[in-house]
Amino acid sequence: MFRGKKYVDSAKTIDKVKLYDPGEGFVLLAGIAKAKFDETVELHVKLGVDSRHADQQVRGSIVLPHGTGKTARVLVFAKGDKAKEAEAAGAEYVGAEDMLAKIQNENFFDYEVIVATPDMMGLVGRLGKVLGPKGLMPNPKAGTVTMDVARAIADIKAGKVEYRLDKTNIIHCPIGKVSFGTEKLMENFNALVNAIIKSKPAAAKGQYIRSCVIASTMSPGIRLSTAKFV
Protein backbone atom coordinates (compact mmCIF):
# COMPACT_ATOMS: atom_id res chain seq x y z
CA MET A 1 0.00 0.00 0.00
CA PHE A 2 1.31 3.44 -0.94
CA ARG A 3 1.87 5.79 1.98
CA GLY A 4 2.51 9.52 1.77
CA LYS A 5 5.79 11.10 2.91
CA LYS A 6 4.18 12.66 6.01
CA TYR A 7 2.70 9.32 7.05
CA VAL A 8 6.03 7.54 6.56
CA ASP A 9 7.88 10.23 8.53
CA SER A 10 5.32 9.99 11.35
CA ALA A 11 5.56 6.20 11.42
CA LYS A 12 9.33 6.46 12.01
CA THR A 13 8.73 8.27 15.31
CA ILE A 14 6.46 5.51 16.66
CA ASP A 15 7.86 2.38 18.29
CA LYS A 16 5.55 -0.31 16.90
CA VAL A 17 6.47 -2.73 19.69
CA LYS A 18 6.10 -0.33 22.61
CA LEU A 19 2.89 0.10 24.57
CA TYR A 20 2.75 3.79 25.38
CA ASP A 21 1.32 5.23 28.55
CA PRO A 22 -1.93 7.00 27.46
CA GLY A 23 -0.64 10.46 28.39
CA GLU A 24 2.60 9.86 26.49
CA GLY A 25 0.65 8.50 23.55
CA PHE A 26 -1.51 11.60 23.19
CA VAL A 27 1.53 13.89 23.37
CA LEU A 28 3.15 11.83 20.60
CA LEU A 29 -0.06 11.93 18.54
CA ALA A 30 -0.18 15.72 18.71
CA GLY A 31 3.38 15.86 17.40
CA ILE A 32 2.77 13.66 14.35
CA ALA A 33 -0.58 15.10 13.23
CA LYS A 34 0.58 17.22 10.31
CA ALA A 35 -2.50 17.66 8.13
CA LYS A 36 -3.64 21.16 7.19
CA PHE A 37 -7.05 20.52 8.81
CA ASP A 38 -8.00 19.72 12.40
CA GLU A 39 -7.75 15.94 12.41
CA THR A 40 -10.24 13.75 14.25
CA VAL A 41 -8.77 11.49 16.94
CA GLU A 42 -10.20 7.96 17.10
CA LEU A 43 -9.91 5.23 19.70
CA HIS A 44 -9.90 1.57 18.65
CA VAL A 45 -10.42 -0.96 21.44
CA LYS A 46 -10.20 -4.72 20.88
CA LEU A 47 -12.21 -6.71 23.42
CA GLY A 48 -11.95 -10.28 24.63
CA VAL A 49 -15.52 -11.14 23.70
CA ASP A 50 -17.24 -12.86 20.80
CA SER A 51 -19.72 -10.60 19.02
CA ARG A 52 -21.37 -13.63 17.43
CA HIS A 53 -23.02 -14.39 20.75
CA ALA A 54 -25.95 -12.25 21.93
CA ASP A 55 -24.82 -12.43 25.56
CA GLN A 56 -21.40 -10.98 24.69
CA GLN A 57 -22.53 -7.86 22.85
CA VAL A 58 -21.06 -4.56 23.99
CA ARG A 59 -23.03 -1.48 23.07
CA GLY A 60 -23.86 1.80 24.72
CA SER A 61 -23.46 5.56 24.54
CA ILE A 62 -21.83 8.34 26.50
CA VAL A 63 -21.67 12.13 26.38
CA LEU A 64 -17.94 12.86 26.21
CA PRO A 65 -16.78 15.53 28.69
CA HIS A 66 -15.47 17.74 25.88
CA GLY A 67 -17.61 16.51 22.99
CA THR A 68 -16.20 15.34 19.68
CA GLY A 69 -15.45 18.69 18.07
CA LYS A 70 -18.27 18.18 15.63
CA THR A 71 -21.98 18.97 15.95
CA ALA A 72 -23.96 16.03 14.61
CA ARG A 73 -26.95 16.53 12.33
CA VAL A 74 -30.04 14.78 13.68
CA LEU A 75 -33.06 13.25 11.94
CA VAL A 76 -36.07 12.56 14.18
CA PHE A 77 -38.98 10.26 13.38
CA ALA A 78 -41.91 11.63 15.35
CA LYS A 79 -45.42 12.99 14.98
CA GLY A 80 -47.59 15.63 16.64
CA ASP A 81 -46.28 17.26 19.81
CA LYS A 82 -43.11 15.16 19.76
CA ALA A 83 -42.33 16.39 16.27
CA LYS A 84 -42.75 19.99 17.45
CA GLU A 85 -40.56 19.20 20.47
CA ALA A 86 -37.84 17.83 18.18
CA GLU A 87 -37.93 20.92 15.97
CA ALA A 88 -37.70 23.20 19.00
CA ALA A 89 -34.75 21.20 20.33
CA GLY A 90 -32.76 21.81 17.15
CA ALA A 91 -33.19 18.66 15.06
CA GLU A 92 -32.22 19.32 11.45
CA TYR A 93 -34.88 17.02 10.04
CA VAL A 94 -38.19 15.87 11.51
CA GLY A 95 -40.88 13.72 9.92
CA ALA A 96 -42.51 10.32 9.59
CA GLU A 97 -43.80 8.74 6.36
CA ASP A 98 -42.35 11.66 4.39
CA MET A 99 -38.87 10.94 5.75
CA LEU A 100 -39.30 7.23 5.08
CA ALA A 101 -40.06 7.99 1.43
CA LYS A 102 -37.19 10.47 1.17
CA ILE A 103 -34.70 7.86 2.38
CA GLN A 104 -36.15 5.09 0.22
CA ASN A 105 -36.58 7.10 -2.96
CA GLU A 106 -33.89 9.78 -2.77
CA ASN A 107 -31.12 7.94 -0.91
CA PHE A 108 -31.25 10.72 1.70
CA PHE A 109 -28.43 10.47 4.28
CA ASP A 110 -27.55 14.07 5.16
CA TYR A 111 -27.38 13.34 8.93
CA GLU A 112 -25.27 11.40 11.42
CA VAL A 113 -27.84 10.27 14.00
CA ILE A 114 -31.48 9.15 13.91
CA VAL A 115 -33.78 9.49 16.92
CA ALA A 116 -37.25 7.94 16.98
CA THR A 117 -40.16 7.80 19.39
CA PRO A 118 -41.17 4.20 20.25
CA ASP A 119 -44.41 4.42 18.25
CA MET A 120 -42.37 5.22 15.12
CA MET A 121 -40.18 2.11 15.25
CA GLY A 122 -42.63 0.06 13.19
CA LEU A 123 -42.15 2.60 10.42
CA VAL A 124 -38.39 2.96 10.90
CA GLY A 125 -38.05 -0.83 10.95
CA ARG A 126 -38.84 -0.90 7.24
CA LEU A 127 -35.50 0.82 6.70
CA GLY A 128 -33.53 -1.76 8.66
CA LYS A 129 -31.64 -3.13 5.66
CA VAL A 130 -30.62 0.41 4.69
CA LEU A 131 -29.92 1.96 8.08
CA GLY A 132 -28.43 -1.09 9.80
CA PRO A 133 -25.25 -1.40 7.71
CA LYS A 134 -24.64 2.35 8.14
CA GLY A 135 -24.98 2.15 11.92
CA LEU A 136 -27.94 4.55 11.83
CA MET A 137 -30.70 2.34 13.22
CA PRO A 138 -32.19 3.87 16.41
CA ASN A 139 -31.70 1.72 19.50
CA PRO A 140 -33.02 2.01 23.08
CA LYS A 141 -29.59 1.10 24.52
CA ALA A 142 -28.08 4.05 22.68
CA GLY A 143 -30.85 6.36 23.90
CA THR A 144 -32.07 7.02 20.38
CA VAL A 145 -35.46 5.35 20.82
CA THR A 146 -37.15 7.54 23.40
CA MET A 147 -40.12 9.73 24.19
CA ASP A 148 -37.76 12.38 25.57
CA VAL A 149 -36.61 13.53 22.15
CA ALA A 150 -35.50 16.95 23.42
CA ARG A 151 -33.06 15.36 25.88
CA ALA A 152 -31.79 12.93 23.25
CA ILE A 153 -31.11 15.76 20.81
CA ALA A 154 -29.41 17.87 23.49
CA ASP A 155 -27.09 14.99 24.41
CA ILE A 156 -26.21 14.31 20.78
CA LYS A 157 -25.45 17.97 20.15
CA ALA A 158 -23.31 18.05 23.32
CA GLY A 159 -21.04 15.30 22.00
CA LYS A 160 -22.75 12.00 22.67
CA VAL A 161 -21.09 9.06 20.96
CA GLU A 162 -22.31 5.51 20.53
CA TYR A 163 -19.90 2.62 20.92
CA ARG A 164 -20.53 -0.88 19.62
CA LEU A 165 -18.58 -3.96 18.57
CA ASP A 166 -17.84 -4.66 14.94
CA LYS A 167 -17.57 -8.18 13.54
CA THR A 168 -13.92 -8.40 14.61
CA ASN A 169 -14.74 -7.53 18.25
CA ILE A 170 -13.30 -4.03 17.98
CA ILE A 171 -14.93 -0.75 19.01
CA HIS A 172 -14.07 2.27 16.85
CA CYS A 173 -15.05 5.67 18.24
CA PRO A 174 -14.09 9.35 17.79
CA ILE A 175 -12.89 11.05 20.97
CA GLY A 176 -12.19 14.58 19.77
CA LYS A 177 -9.93 16.68 17.59
CA VAL A 178 -6.15 17.10 17.68
CA SER A 179 -6.69 20.76 18.62
CA PHE A 180 -8.29 19.67 21.91
CA GLY A 181 -4.85 19.11 23.41
CA THR A 182 -3.61 16.25 25.56
CA GLU A 183 -5.64 17.01 28.70
CA LYS A 184 -9.07 17.14 27.05
CA LEU A 185 -8.35 14.13 24.86
CA MET A 186 -7.23 12.18 27.93
CA GLU A 187 -10.45 13.05 29.76
CA ASN A 188 -12.56 11.93 26.79
CA PHE A 189 -10.45 8.78 26.45
CA ASN A 190 -10.84 7.86 30.13
CA ALA A 191 -14.59 8.51 30.05
CA LEU A 192 -15.10 6.26 27.01
CA VAL A 193 -12.87 3.43 28.24
CA ASN A 194 -14.56 3.45 31.65
CA ALA A 195 -17.96 3.29 29.93
CA ILE A 196 -16.79 0.31 27.89
CA ILE A 197 -15.54 -1.41 31.06
CA LYS A 198 -18.89 -0.84 32.77
CA SER A 199 -20.56 -2.46 29.75
CA LYS A 200 -18.60 -5.70 30.21
CA PRO A 201 -20.96 -8.64 29.60
CA ALA A 202 -21.33 -11.17 32.41
CA ALA A 203 -20.52 -13.89 29.87
CA ALA A 204 -17.12 -12.37 29.01
CA LYS A 205 -14.23 -14.51 30.24
CA GLY A 206 -10.52 -13.82 30.49
CA GLN A 207 -8.88 -10.51 29.62
CA TYR A 208 -11.61 -8.05 28.61
CA ILE A 209 -9.59 -5.20 27.07
CA ARG A 210 -7.05 -6.78 24.74
CA SER A 211 -5.63 -3.66 23.11
CA CYS A 212 -6.12 0.10 22.71
CA VAL A 213 -4.91 2.09 19.72
CA ILE A 214 -5.29 5.83 19.07
CA ALA A 215 -4.86 7.51 15.71
CA SER A 216 -5.71 10.79 14.05
CA THR A 217 -7.29 11.00 10.60
CA MET A 218 -3.98 10.93 8.72
CA SER A 219 -1.60 9.35 11.25
CA PRO A 220 -0.42 5.81 12.00
CA GLY A 221 -1.83 4.12 15.07
CA ILE A 222 -0.21 4.37 18.49
CA ARG A 223 -0.62 1.38 20.79
CA LEU A 224 -1.45 2.23 24.40
CA SER A 225 -0.81 0.24 27.56
CA THR A 226 -3.99 -1.28 28.98
CA ALA A 227 -2.35 -2.24 32.29
CA LYS A 228 -4.41 0.24 34.34
CA PHE A 229 -7.63 -1.15 32.89
CA VAL A 230 -6.88 -4.87 33.34
pLDDT in tens, 146-194: 999 999 999 999 999 989 999 999 999 999 999 999 999 999 999 999 9
Mean pLDDT of 67-96: 96
Cα 208 to Cα 204: distance, rounded to the nearest angstrom: 7
Query: Could you please report the per-residue DSSP string of 33-76?
Result: ---SS-PEEEEEEEESS-TTSGGG--EEEEE-TT--SS---EEE
Mean pLDDT of 101-118: 95
φ, ψ for residue 174 (rounded to 5)? Answer: -75, 140
pLDDT score of 135: 87
Reported as a pLDDT band with limits 50, 70 and 90, residue 199 is very high
φ, ψ for residue 46 (rounded to 5)? Answer: -95, 130
Reported as a pLDDT band with limits 50, 70 and 90, residue 7 is low
Q: What is the mean pLDDT of the chain?
A: 91
Mean pLDDT of 215-219: 90
Cα 52 to Cα 14: distance, rounded to the nearest angstrom: 34
Cα 166 to Cα 152: distance, rounded to the nearest angstrom: 24
Mean pLDDT of 5-16: 71
Reported as a pLDDT band with limits 50, 70 and 90, residue 219 is confident
The Cβ of residue 173 has, within 10 Å, a number of other Cβ atoms equal to 20
Which helix (H) or strand (E) is 173 found in, with range?
Answer: strand 170-177
For residue 212, list its beta bridge partners.
45, 224
pLDDT score of 226: 86
- The helix/strand/coil state of 25 is helix
